[in-house]
Amino acid sequence: KVKMYKYKLKRRSFIKSSALSATGIFIGFTFDPQKSIATETKIKNELGLWIRISSDDTITLIVPSSEMGQGVNTSLSMILAEELEADWKTIKTETAPANSDYSNPESNWGQMTVGSSSVKGFWEPLRKAGASAKLMLIMSAAQRWGVPFEECLARSGYIIHINSSRKLSYGELAEEAGKMDIPSDAPLKNSKGYNLVGKPIQRLDIPSKTNGSAQYGIDVRLPEMMFASIRQSPVFGGEVLSFDEDAALNIRGVKKVILIPNGIAVVADNTWRAEKGIKALNVKFKGGKTIGLESKDVHMQMLKALDAEGKTILEENKTLDLEYEVPFLAHSTLEPMNCTAHVTEHFCKVWVPTQSQGGSKDAAKEITGLDEEQIQISTTYLGGGFGRRTETDFVRQAILIAKELGKPVQLTWTREEDMQHDFYRHASISRFQIGLGKDGSLSSWNNQLTSPSILKRSFAPMSWFDIDPTSTEGADELPYTIQDFDFKYSIVDPGIPVGWWNSVGSSYNAFFTESAIDEAAHLAEEDPLDYRMKLLAGKHRFQNVLEKLAQASQWGRTLPNGHGLGISIHKTRGSISGAVIEVSTDPTGILTLNKAWLAIDCAKVVNPDTVRAQMEGGFNMGLSACLGEEITLKDGRVEQSNFHDYHIMRLRGVPEISVEIIESGFEIGGVGELAPPLAAPTLVNAIFSSSGKRIRSLPLSKHGIVIA
């Protein structure tokens, strides 16, 4: 007798799961997530995840997140394949289409790949989806054999009858299993039985990226496709004043000139000719909300906001009065912004490297007036995201041009357009008045912070009350024991577009706070690591990270002259990470990054190779931003235009990096945005240790420091 399981199947899920049941399993596993980042209230959106098993035993996993180099295709596939007991060699992936069923339960932003939330958000849903599919396959085999359910088990893509050793592949059972209802209570594996999760599995995207078959947005090609290039007002918010359309149309291959909001586009039969057409236009612009704005003006706006917050007068004998500052930063993704669109009266199809499928679909609905069912968003690989591709400005432009043209069109920004029309990591200034007790403890901590606001665009009421948790994260709450803690924040709006940048507010607040903690340690005449350990008494996860770093770096050893060690620790995205770096400096300002040691406690690990890669890449991105990256303004325009004047760290400057991974068993945390915040404080603390020079503003190149 086959054991019966309870089923909880909604009509919407039944339609999805039965649609392809004739050709195999097509699972729409539905549940109601109970948890949100901002609240503990129930999220209304359902989550649907599809697993396709074909008769040739190929298993295609529909990945709900965008693959932008962070290894999410592999990590999420490992979670699902683990519970499914699939043969890893049969696994393939597809990126999910734009559909609210794929909204991340850890995010308030719908179907977006942001906030280091992919593995964290889909850990439990994917486990349940895999377990449910496995249970359906087991029950199908048991019914075919006429044996009790308990006598069957799943192993490496087969259902095996224990007593007779008979077995059927998943492909042989797919059609029958695909007709079954979806169980609501399939048992999950114990972590002790994991075969994939926790193991260093080679990434699924490596072969296609090695042989050149991987498709990025810029690789899309369609029949009769045209190509577009644009120019946008160099002053933010400006408009087109004049242009020479005839001159552009006289360029070979140029087909059309199209006005778009804030700019103009030229369409041609290839990108090179479209760009030649743009240059021939001789377009002139007028107006804009940043006319005449200089970087020094933004600096003064922030100082004025801090002065309005007011300093705290301290009475302790040992006090610090500090001011730290960071500049605007570009995302500078290797692949510039691009999007391919085809719009007719009946459909809108978009191929785009995006972190926001939901936002792209909303843009298409708004511009075309089509119903949701008539719009298709296909996500390609992303040649770098870092938060920039959560925006839909370039998607909107491509759809507008395609609608006007009536043919498929690929819009590609030049590097100069990309650099000068970004949604920048905002500049910020942070002030501290810190008082120490007689024992060196933090008796008072007063911090005033100011910056532009990202959320002002998406939720204006935030700005009414000077609230933006994305800007204050990492500063408004600290793990250290502090007797008197006070934090104030105010928003400035110089008119420069700002957006999500890798680790958002933590990218600069960790620099501010961990540098200030280091200054407090030296004022207390204590070792910076020991000082942190004392202030983190009882915070065992934090202390464990510091202990791992101390062991790995041999903290406290005698260093050669001119060498120094710097340290920092930070919590974000539900995980704790820390870093130590050894540097050497000489009197001329030449800096050598000798070696860095990183440690991360993300509670659970899916693929340790991916964790290490994320930590290494993120730390280097943070180092690059710290060393030479800066966006400045002159007469309301961004001065930088390409990599000759926006200085990315070169490979020769990268230090050797060692990564310690800690599995603490707590609720799974994020990984992707843990390392960038560590780079700046760790490095400037090491520079102080090696040279006695304390740096409180970035980039380091402004202080005459260059990489050897």
Say if strands 656-662 and 590-601 run parallel, antiparallel, or are unpaired.
Answer: parallel
At 356 the pLDDT is: 96
At 523 the pLDDT is: 98
Lookup: tokens for 355:
């972190």
Listed range (126-140, 423-437, 504-518) with the worst mean pLDDT: 126-140
DSSP 607: -
At 8 the pLDDT is: 39
Based on C-alpha coordinates, what's the Rg of the chain? Answer: 27
A 10 A CB-CB count for 170 gives 30
For the stretch 217-260, pLDDT in tens is: 999 999 999 999 999 999 999 999 999 999 999 999 999 999 99
Question: Is the pLDDT assigned to residue 107 strictly greater than 80?
Answer: no
Q: DSSP per residue over 560-572, as a string? A: -TTEEEEEEEEEE
Question: Is the pLDDT assigned to residue 345 strictly greater than 80?
Answer: yes
**Which residues neighbour 627 within 8 Å (Cβ) at sequence distance 6 or greater?**
647, 649, 653, 683, 699, 700, 701, 705, 707
Cis before residue 699, ω within 30 degrees of 0? yes
In single-letter form, the type of residue at position 339 comes to C
- Rounded to two decimals, the pTM is 0.92
| Residue-averaged pLDDT of the chain | 91
Residue among 23, 68, 683, 613 nearest 335 (CA): 68
d(CA 427, CA 421): 16
CB contact at 8 A, 453 and 468: yes
Average pLDDT (194-201) is: 96
Q: Which residue spans within 354-509 are E strands per DSSP? A: 375-379, 409-412, 428-436, 442-451, 485-491
Question: Is the pLDDT assigned to residue 2 strictly greater than 50?
Answer: no
Strand partners, 575: 572
Confidence of residue 20 (pLDDT cuts 50, 70, 90): very low
Listed range (70-79, 183-192, 489-498, 546-555) with the worst mean pLDDT: 183-192
Average pLDDT (88-100) is: 91
Give the number of C-alpha atoms closer than 13 A to the C-alpha of residue 411, restricted to the C-beta side.
32
The conformational region for residue 287 under phi > 0 = left, psi -120 to 50 = alpha, else beta, is left
In single-letter form, the type of residue at position 553 comes to S
**Which residues neighbour 581 within 8 Å (Cβ) at sequence distance 6 or greater?**
565, 566, 593, 594, 595, 596, 597, 655, 682, 683, 686
Question: Is the pLDDT assigned to residue 460 strictly greater than 80?
Answer: no
Question: Is the pLDDT assigned to residue 47 strictly greater than 60?
Answer: no
Residue among 204, 187, 35, 41 nearest 120 (CA): 35
Identify the three-state secondary structure at position 701: helix
DSSP 328: B
In single-letter form, the type of residue at position 519 comes to E
d(CA 508, CA 708): 25
Q: Which helix (H) or strand (E) holds 364?
A: helix 357-368
Give the number of C-alpha atoms closer than 13 A to the C-alpha of residue 210, restricted to the C-beta side.
5
Listed range (321-325, 461-465, 479-483, 541-545) with the worst mean pLDDT: 461-465
Average pLDDT (270-281) is: 98
At 100 the pLDDT is: 84
A 10 A CB-CB count for 241 gives 11
At 52 the pLDDT is: 86
At 701 the pLDDT is: 95
Question: Is the pLDDT assigned to residue 151 strictly greater than 90?
Answer: yes
Question: Is the pLDDT assigned to residue 371 strictly greater than 70?
Answer: yes
* Residue environment code for 245-277, b if the CB has 16+ CB neighbours within 10 A, otherwise e: beebbebeebbbbbebebbbbbbbeebebbbbb
CB contact at 8 A, 365 and 198: no
Average pLDDT (595-602) is: 98
Q: DSSP per residue over 86-122, as a string? A: --GGGEEEEEPPS-GGG--TT-SSSSB--TT-HHHHH
Question: Is the pLDDT assigned to residue 194 strictly greater than 80?
Answer: yes
The residue to which tokens 């492909």 are assigned: 171
User: Degrees (nearest 5) of the Cα angle 611, 613, 618?
Assistant: 95
Average pLDDT (538-566) is: 97
The residue to which tokens 């404080």 are assigned: 681
At 1 the pLDDT is: 36
Confidence of residue 27 (pLDDT cuts 50, 70, 90): low
Confidence of residue 25 (pLDDT cuts 50, 70, 90): very low
Q: When comparing pLDDT for 458 and 615, which is higher?
A: 615
At 44 the pLDDT is: 24
Confidence of residue 174 (pLDDT cuts 50, 70, 90): confident
A 10 A CB-CB count for 334 gives 11
Average pLDDT (676-688) is: 98
Strand partners, 329: 425
Burial of 434 (0-12, 13-18, 19+ CB in 10 A): buried
At 483 the pLDDT is: 94
Percent of the chain with pLDDT over 70: 93
Listed range (264-273, 462-471, 685-694) with the worst mean pLDDT: 462-471
The conformational region for residue 165 under phi > 0 = left, psi -120 to 50 = alpha, else beta, is left
At 213 the pLDDT is: 95
At 28 the pLDDT is: 44
Lookup: tokens for 405:
């043209």
Confidence of residue 339 (pLDDT cuts 50, 70, 90): very high
For the stretch 302-321, pLDDT in tens is: 999 999 999 999 989 999 99
